[in-house]
């Protein structure tokens, strides 16, 4: 198998480490192989790829879509981020809990966040390029979010030597406790 799949405290949220083959010319690695992923329990069809670039301190999230809900396979191709998945599936044993992992171009690790989760990340390096595969298309009419500093979720974001930079939209999300996540029950 070309990957090591590490389970986290939340079932279905997986840290992935590809095997990297390097020599004096550079390196080669597979980032996705359907058969290996299916064997590890990630038997999904990815239909959209996205890429973003951000500077140090940019905090994006915590985002989700109520319709066209997306599972995401994320990785960093430049720099380093702290990536977070929050379980928003009512009735789940881990409802309201989060998992975070440092992803970096150097480590070449990846993170799988299934449908029924909110997702966000904080850029730790001067800049970061973030690439992710999604199981459904982006639909702006069904997007939602949880404040990055929501007291109920209480994500332990890394402290930086600069202020966090968030979008105006991300500052206006309703608290976790005030939202109806019934749309996510079907992902249990």
132 is a catalytic site residue: yes
CA–CA gap between residue 116 and residue 92 (Å, rounded): 10
Q: Looking at 37, 68, 119, 132, which residue is catalytic?
A: 132
Q: Looking at 37, 63, 68, 173, which residue is catalytic?
A: 63
What's the token pair of residue 156? Answer: 């332990």
Which candidate, 179, 183, 162, places its Cα nearest to that of 62?
A: 179
Place of tokens 């970061």: 128
Write the DSSP string, 136-164: S---GGGEEE--TT-TTT---PPP-SS--
95 is a catalytic site residue: no
Burial state string for 116-129 with b = 16 or more CB within 10 A and e = fewer than 16 = bbbbbbbbbbeebb
CB 44, CB 91: distance < 8 Å: no
Find all residues with CB under 8 Å of 97, minimum gap 6, and list them. Answer: 9, 10, 86, 87
Residues tagged active-site: 63, 132
């Amino acid at each position: 198998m070309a990957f090591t799949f590490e389970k986290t405290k939340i079932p279905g949220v997986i840290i992935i480490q590809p095997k990297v083959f390097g020599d004096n010319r550079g390196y080669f690695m597979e980032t996705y192989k359907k058969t290996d992923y299916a064997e590890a329990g990630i038997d999904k069809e990815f239909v959209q790829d996205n890429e973003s670039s951000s500077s140090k301190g940019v905090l994006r999230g915590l985002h989700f879509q109520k319709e066209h809900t997306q599972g995401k396979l994320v990785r960093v191709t430049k720099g380093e981020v702290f990536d977070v998945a929050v379980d928003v599936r009512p009735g789940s044993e881990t409802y309201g809990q989060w998992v975070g992992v440092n992803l970096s171009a150097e480590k070449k690790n990846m993170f799988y966040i299934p449908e029924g989760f909110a997702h966000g990340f904080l850029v730790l390096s001067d800049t970061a390029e973030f690439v992710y595969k999604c199981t459904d298309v982006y639909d702006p009419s069904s997007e939602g979010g949880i404040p990055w500093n929501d007291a109920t979720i209480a994500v332990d974001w890394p402290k930086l030597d600069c202020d966090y930079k968030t979008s105006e939209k991300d500052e206006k999300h309703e608290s976790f406790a005030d939202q109806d996540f019934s749309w996510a029950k079907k992902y249990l």
